[in-house]
Amino acid sequence: MRWEADVALAEHTRYRIGGPTPGFGRVESRVELAEALAGLAGAPFCVLGRGANLLVADRGIAQRVFVLAGDFDVLESEAGVIEAGGGAGLPTLVGEARRTACAGWSFLEAVPGSVGGGLRMNAGSVETGLWDRVERAEAMTPAGEAVWLSPAEAGPSYRRVKVPESWIFLGARFGTTPGDAEAIEAEHFERRRTKVETQVYDLPSCGSIWKNPGGAWSGAWQLIDCVGMRGARRGDAQVTERHANFIANLGDASAEDVWWLMAETRRRVAEETGVELSPEIRLWGFTDEERAAVGARPDEGVEA
């Protein structure tokens, strides 16, 4: 594997925002990944999927970044199962489930990102996560050891798993259930239509910024509306009018613009409602103080 120096991560995220990494490398196989990890000799690293759920600081990050390609960007299906590498796209996975008339996969319709990132974030809807379809998943430790995980061992919950952040998801085997092809096609079409009508796909964004808090508030967007942040703008970043839980890049937004809107939204919500919002997106390259201001944990190194 060859490391590229000073690669701007804005080129590799859906937000089109973010500074450089000192090293950017595409790994093509398990052997190559294990060798690359050994070469880091314990130094911290990040793993980049499709950049669908990530905000990178304008200053960039100190860690080197892996992208899973080659042998990891594969997908195969047969009766009862779909096997997908960590570098494969979630749209490819859900498309294969739809094409082969597998029931129960519409929850992933119009969800971007990679399979590896989806496993890390337990991507999906509030009701159903990707791990609900996993039979087993494979990950690699920083020592280069490949480990198989069952859903019980991964401990998935809403938008997270209990797998160490330094473990890299290599892929998974998903169980499938046959269904009526026509009904499945209609269900997927309706899911996509609804999301396109109610969410923002025509501007760079990371989708939902905040996790839904539960309790009396059915969605984070209600809290954002309640404190008057729908439509709020800083620079070229804006809390969108169509969906208040999205912050879009209107053209030349900086990471600082997006972060400021997040921090201000969280501050107002906490002061006016008592609810502490928690970000659904990952943040790279921010200080502990900056992360605390938006409720982000300090140990996140892998994204969707």
**Which residues participate in catalysis according to the annotation?**
159, 208, 280
The candidate with the shortest Cα–Cα distance to 149, out of 161, 136, 134, 167, is 136
Q: Which two tokens stand for residue 209?
A: 């910024």
The answer to whether 20 and 11 are in contact (CB under 8 A) is no
Distance between CA atoms of residues 78 and 186, nearest Å: 23
| DSSP code per residue over 82-147 | EEEETTSBHHHHHHHHHHTTEES-GGGTT--SBHHHHHHHT-B-SS-BGGGGEEEEEEE-TTS-EE
201-211-72 Cα angle (round to 5): 65
